[in-house]
Structure 1
């Protein structure tokens, strides 16, 4: 079984389209959260993924949008949350609200969380990856850091596919991964997309321009 793994789309439809166009044929698509936030296509990204993902979890931006709560976000993140709240319809909000904080996929072999198995808001960077994060699953998928990385242990795989819509690992290209469940291997992928068109859409939506300019930096 080959599985496409994505995370942190952050309402960047241009990047999401590029990833899905680039992705080879897979048996399932998994998402580690934060479909919305920051960029100006929250409704479109929710619609695309609710029709395509086999399993997904709720990210902190997703939770902020559907809960109405105010979190300690910076001005860019807060603006993206408010924008998404205005853009989503009831069905789209319901889909986001029904995402769990942790879920099991692929016949119990894959666990998906957003930040950490014990804390959905904890940023688990690659230097904290270890086999101790694994439970009964063969593969643990995390998002949240926007940093693409995976490690293979005797006990299984710990991985972050990176961010589709706002990479923060110094590479501006949209990130995703392919998990081979039979061989227990991970292929990390990057794909170029039209960042200038996202920057223009950010300006037209009245969102902070820094949301678009940082995409070029991969930060």
Structure 2
């Protein structure tokens, strides 16, 4: 349990080393009491170290995603993950390794997982958002699918995926995030544009596959 109080909270997920998108989201986001990150700071994108540095903040709460976990495999097969493992400082890797699989925050009112409360890397899409996903918390936040959505279940409780900051996959190339109000139990799903050309140019300077740049223009 983590009981630090917060009312208005920014929700983000799946940053994937895309600093341009992260900066755009944080600039577009209204004043919030805290930011909750549902995992995958690294992978695919060209700025893993910069994104780790940017997201580490006393009022930011992160969990480990599947690409974060891959940094510690004996063999890393994805070029984006391998690049992250190469350029991250040792203390940044140690921070990622220390991240929990899930967190209960704000007097246990909000749970954050990456993919699913039982199987942390299981894809959970909006049609599956129902009361069976929740325990006693008022709100469940998850990511992993890179698709933004929310559902009000079991009365006034919420399941929400803020979408992907760094690699949306719902055919909308704009970076995704959400803002919630825990007192009023309201949610606003948000999108903001960012400089995709900047990301593509930076990817071209790395071993990361070009496809990870071209797909950004298509939101897929």
> Does the 8 A contact of 1:134 with 1:155 survive in 2?
no
C-alpha displacement of 1:15: 0.2
Q: Quote the Cα distance in structure 2 between the aligned partners of 1:86 and 1:51.
A: 23
Shift of 1:4: 0.3
1:50 is displaced (CA, Å) by: 1.2
Where in structure 1 do 4 or more consecutive aligned residues deviate above 6 Å?
Answer: none
CA contact 1:131–1:155 (8 Å) conserved in 2: no
Worse overlay, 46-55 or 152-161: 46-55
Q: State the Cα distance separating 1:107 from its structure 2 match.
A: 1.6
Q: Is residue 9–residue 33 contact of structure 2 (8 Å, CA) maintained in 1? A: yes
* Residue in 2 that maps onto 1:116: 116
Match of 1:177 in 2: 178
Describe the superposition over 1:41-87 as per-residue Cα deviations: whole angstroms up to 9, x where unpaired.
Answer: 0000001111255321100000001x12447x7xxxx0011000000
- Cα distance in 1, alignment partners of residues 103 and 49 from structure 2: 23
Of 59, 68, 73, 2:73 maps to 68
For 1:154-173, what per-residue CA distance to the aligned partner results, in whole angstroms no more than 9, with x for missing partners? 15100000000000011100
Matches within 5 A, 1:45-56: 45-51=51-57, 53-56=59-62
Q: What is the match of residue 89 of structure 1?
A: 89
Equivalent pairs counted in the alignment come to 213
SS state at 1:197 partner? helix
52-61 vs 165-174, which moves further: 52-61
Q: 1:32 aligns with which of 35, 38, 53?
A: 38
**Alignment gaps of 5+ in structure 1:** none
SS of alignment partner, residue 30 of structure 1: strand
SS of the equivalent of 1:51 reads: coil
Shift of 1:183: 0.7
Question: Are 2:104 and 2:110, in contact at CA under 8 Å, matched by a contact in 1?
Answer: yes
Map 1:97-176 to 2 at 5 A: 97-153=97-153, 154=155, 156-176=157-177
> 1:206: Cα distance to partner?
2.8
Q: How many angstroms does 1:130 deviate by?
A: 0.6
**Aligned Cα RMSD in Å?**
1.2
Please give the alpha-carbon distance, in whole angstroms, between the structure 1 residues aligned to 2:58 and 2:80: 23
Q: Is the 8 A contact 2:199 2:213 kept in 1?
A: yes
**Per-residue CA shift, 1:110-135, capped at 9, x if unaligned?**
00000000001100011111111111
Q: What CA distance in whole angstroms lies between the structure 2 residues aligned with 1:17 and 1:156?
A: 30
Residue 216 of structure 1: how far off its partner (Å) = 0.7
Give 1:106 shift: 1.4
Pair 36,172 (structure 1): closer, same or farther in 2 beyond 3 Å: same
Partner in structure 2 of residue 57 of structure 1: 63
